[in-house]
A and B are shown apart, each in its own frame.
Chain A
Amino acid sequence: MGRKVLTDKIHIPGIETIEVYKNNGGYETLKKALKQMTPSEITEEVKKSGLRGRGGAGFPTGMKWSFLENTSVGPRYLVCNADESEPGTFKDRFLIEKIPHLLIEGLIISSFALGAESTFVYVRGEFKTQIGILSKAIREAYASGFLGKNILGTGFSLDIYVHSGAGAYICGEETALLESLEGKRGNPRLKPPFPAVKGLYDRPTVVNNVETLAAVVPIIALGGEEYAKIGVGKSTGTKLISACGNINNPGVYEIELGLSVDTFLNSNEYCGGLKNGKNLKAIVPGGSSVPILPGNLILKTANGDDRLMSYESLSDGGFVSGSMLGSGGFIVYDEDACIVRNTWNFSRFYHHESCGQCSPCREGTGWMEKVLHRIEYGHGTSKDVDLLVSIAKRIEGNTICPLGDAAAWPVASAIRHFRHEFEFHIENPEIVKNIKHHSPEKYKVAVS
């Protein structure tokens, strides 16, 4: 049993209400932070904890916060990124729904540390239910004196507002999110300037993921050093992994970073192995944009070491034989899944979600989707696979924001590890034309 610091109380009935949350030690950490600590002491603990951004990029949170120091007087903002929309990821939704006060407590402590007096939570528009749950919890926190003017008599005042998105993956990118929060199209901004200097309303701003801000509560409760003892190496603490695909127990699991992929996949405590006794074909370990890895490379690194659920181990081997922890969206594919179809599917997603601002992403994502569609439906030609590799390479690194990379990596990695499936489609148009969707028949025909 690994240690749990975020979800240890979620099984308590009624924990989503402030009463039950308080009766179980809730908001005690807030009192400690506001009454016994200074903002810089809190930042120091977050630095010591080694906490890295849980939204996908893995940037050290304490360092991000410290960029905000020494800036001019005037308002500064904390914005919570709850625009969870990376395919395979549904952990923030889970956290907000099950234990909204943990997030609110984390938000108040973090706002205090950053000197923010207005904090916005940007929740994707599809999570209407969760928006309602969070708004209700915020109203409860106001009623209990944890929000509003002069919180707990400390002189610190804070308002937290829930803001809704309306269906755009790109708004998960922090500067697109800020644009959207300002009531505009979700076009990512050019950087520099970074949000720490010029963010929301041109003011210094920190944007953090839901899980990151929730983790501030156990970090302050335990102390940064104690928190850093959880996990492995530079991957400190726990991580929420949302597991989905062809497994027995899909759902959200809090793991200690450093758990082996094998255990996570096969133990009944977690994914419980593959459904219907099927064999493993591939795993996308960190949300749709990270490279897909075939079964052998996800369980062991190219050097034969056990692959662990950590930032370092999952990226061991770089783009040749590794992937990334990303947002923790763990998607499992069994032997029946068609990698070509899945790659086309992801490609369609990025095409659909590109904001269209910069040319490589606007034009390249659509082009890749069209070529992949052609291959999947039996109209591909022998040069198409190399064409895809070339387009992906031309998008990667050349765009305003990381969506270009996110669109390129799944295509490049699928071809790197499953080129034979693409070639099978191109060489057997009659077979692929006649078989719908993901289907075991496609490759059974190939074998016989």
Chain B
Amino acid sequence: MLQVTIDNHTIEVPEGTTILQAARMIGGSIVPPAMCYFSKLKGTGGKCRTCLVRVAKSSEKDARPMPKLVASCSTPVQHGMVVENTTSQEVLDTRKSIVEFLLINHPLDCPVCDQAGECDLQNLSYEHGLENTRYEEGRREFPQVDIGENIKLHMNRCILCYRCVYAVNQLTNGRVHGVLYRGDASEISTFIQNSIDNEFSGNVIDVCPVGALTDRTFRFRSRVWFTKPMDAHRDCKTCSGKAVVWMTGNDISRVTARKDQFNEVEEFICNECRFDHKNTTDWVIEGPRKIDKTSVISANHYEKIKQAAIINPVKKIIEKQAEK
């Protein structure tokens, strides 16, 4: 076992554990945010740079700090390592910079985005972002594309985390979408008009940290905070059948996989469960699901935001939700 100290919390972890995984074991506010890393998908991580941390001491043998900030999601722990996340101003300042970079080409169209309320980027910006932008130039614009009958690709919102590419690579045979072009012209696309048709393809919606890949069967049906998430299961031949059904009154508005406190899918579900079973009779409802990591659904601390006039209606809704 290796001993690692993160923001003054010490823990023992098995060899091969990354700093981020160790931080998650400790839990709480010291866990670095991660926009591209997804523990269930091999090879993800290192790209968004939001999880950068400072290694103040490399190991028991080598007491020197690492020369640069490192991506906690892809840097393995060494015995005696000392890591600073929230205790380092440099890390917090850098995280602000990264959020700024992630937002300069993001449309900030949360008011019309289905992901609003359960968006990792929204949470990240709320916690680490600046109130104003210094970016004056035009933003990238792409037309919206349907990739298959159930999935909408809204490339403007994409932060190029590559999670969906890894998901399709690892969950299905025969990937048809990928990252095309390069630099800030990169885009998720099928290149030719092509649909992602595979019984597990719908999981790209759940792994997408933003509103770039959304569920067409739920599109504009309801804001997520108006729906009630319920744990439910059904007898499914393809997947575990364990899901969350999002209820509007007595109707099921959408079905998603169950997600943990880090907003990661617990078990991937099949497209049939996700898209084709919207009747309550199809499901055994277990009870309300506790949502840990979402800004709007469970949090109620939006008062810090200054443009109160715009936010107020939302805030009222949040408060109402919180009262329930």
Contact = CB atoms under 8 A, between A and B. Distances in A.
Is the A/B pair a real complex? yes
Interface of A: 168, 185, 190, 192, 351-360, 362-367, 370, 387, 390, 394, 397-400
A185 B185 CA distance: 14
Main secondary structure on chain B at its contact with chain A? loop
A399 B49 contact: yes
Interface stretch (B7-15, B92-100, B218-226, B276-284): B92-100
B160 to A, nearest CB: 7
B184 A363 contact: yes
Interface residues of B, number: 33
A128 to B, nearest CB: 22
Given A355-B183, A398-B97, A190 B46 contact: yes
Contacts of A362: 101, 160, 183-184, 186
A185 B165 CA distance: 14
A362 B160 CA distance: 10
B71 interface: yes
Nearest to A190: B46
Contact of B102 (A363, A365, A390): A363
Contacts of A397: 68-69
13 contacts: A351-B183, A352-B183, A354-B182, A354-B183, A354-B184, A356-B181, A356-B183, A358-B48, A359-B102, A360-B49, A363-B101, A390-B134, A398-B52
B69 A398 contact: yes
B186 A356 contact: yes
A351 B184 CA distance: 8
Contacts of A192: 75-76
A367 B104 contact: yes
A360 B98 contact: yes
A365 B94 contact: no
B76 A398 contact: no
Contacts of B160: 356-357, 359, 362
A390 to B, nearest CB: 8
Contacts of A400: 46-47, 71
B193 to A, nearest CB: 22
B71 A190 contact: yes
Interface in B54-82: 68-69, 71, 74-76
A367 B137 contact: yes
B101 A364 contact: yes
Contacts of A356: 160, 179, 181-186
Nearest to A381: B136
Interface of B: 45-49, 52, 68-69, 71, 74-76, 94, 97-98, 100-102, 104-105, 134-135, 137, 159-160, 162, 179, 181-186
Nearest to B97: A394
Nearest to B35: A359
A367 B97 CA distance: 13
B134 A387 contact: yes
Given A192-B76, A363-B104, 19 more contacts: A185-B182, A351-B184, A353-B183, A356-B179, A357-B47, A357-B160, A359-B98, A360-B101, A363-B102, A363-B105, A365-B183, A394-B97, A397-B68, A398-B49, A398-B68, A398-B94, A398-B97, A398-B98, A400-B47
A363 B105 CA distance: 8
A394 B94 contact: yes
Nearest to B73: A190
Contacts of B181: 356
Contacts of A394: 94, 97, 100-101
Name which of A354, A356, A363, A387 has the most chain B CB atoms within 10 A of its CB. A363
A374 B77 CA distance: 45
A179 B94 CA distance: 29
Given A354-B184, A367-B135, A394-B94, A359 B76 contact: no
A130 B179 CA distance: 31
A351 B140 CA distance: 14
A363 B104 CA distance: 7
A370 B186 CA distance: 18
A188 to B, nearest CB: 10
Contacts of B76: 192
A16 B134 CA distance: 56
Nearest to B140: A366
Contacts of A359: 47-49, 98, 101-102, 159-160
Nearest to B180: A185
A359 B95 CA distance: 11
A168 B184 contact: no
A401 B18 CA distance: 20
A352 B186 CA distance: 11
Contacts of A399: 49
Contacts of B101: 359-360, 362-364, 367, 394
A179 to B, nearest CB: 12
A366 B183 contact: yes
A394 B90 CA distance: 11
A12 B68 CA distance: 48
Name which of B45, B47, B49, B184 has the most chain A CB atoms within 10 A of its CB. B184
A366 B46 CA distance: 20
A384 to B, nearest CB: 10
Contacts of A367: 101, 104, 135, 137
Given A190-B74, A394-B100, A355 B68 contact: no
Contacts of B52: 398
A387 B186 CA distance: 25
Contact of B49 (A354, A358, A370): A358
Given A190-B74, A397-B68, A360 B47 contact: no
